[in-house]
Amino acid sequence: MWKQRSKTEERESVKRKAITFASAVLVLMCIVAMTYSLGHGRSITMPSTAVDRVVVSETNGTTFTITDARKIEYLLQFVDHHRNGWRRPWGTFPTPAYTAKFESDGTMLFVVWIGREGSGWIGFAANSRGTPDQLLRELSEAERSELLNELLDTSGSR
């Protein structure tokens, strides 16, 4: 025969159901967040202003400026080719091996960071109002090598 529950048992049952529902919602939110971060990510938009120089800095303090139009065009095409798949880092932005600031008439338009060897990332931030959105994207070692070969070839720099 069916036994009626006490008010205390009824409250405990409702509490368990609420906790189960909240846990399910939390798990669903985590799945959605992970899917978003692992998916295609965001796209970046290249500024329409013409870049006339790229200032490159290495972590050892070495700095040089690229002014060669062909080399700048190559670097712009490389970044544009990788315009999809960007995401915000979960934690602190990683320390880059190289920083490339793309400028026009002395104004920084955007910056590209290149991760250390084996790290597999490239970073981007546009010079926009407020805090720039610092984004990351995966980069294979072959792509990193291709980019660094062009970036570190100092012909066309001063």
Contacts of 60 (CB under 8 A, 6+ apart): none
Q: What is the pLDDT along the chain (158 residues), one digit of tens a residue?
A: 567 778 888 888 888 887 888 787 787 776 655 555 544 578 888 888 899 999 999 999 999 999 999 999 999 999 999 999 999 888 888 899 999 999 999 999 999 999 998 888 999 998 766 556 889 999 999 999 999 998 888 665 55
Q: Which fold has domain 53-152?
A: Dna Ligase; domain 1 (3.30.1490)
Query: What is the residue type of 49?
Result: T
3-state secondary structure of 124: strand
Q: Domain limits of the chain?
A: 1-39, 53-152
pLDDT of residue 90: 84
Q: What is the pLDDT of residue 36?
A: 52
Dihedrals φ, ψ of 145, to 5°? -60, -45
* pLDDT at 146 (0 to 100): 93
Q: What is the amino acid identity at position 128?
A: S
Predicted pLDDT at 1 = 59
Q: What is the pTM of this model?
A: 0.70
Beta pairing, strands 98-104 & 135-138 = unpaired
Question: Tokens in use for 29?
Answer: 């939110």
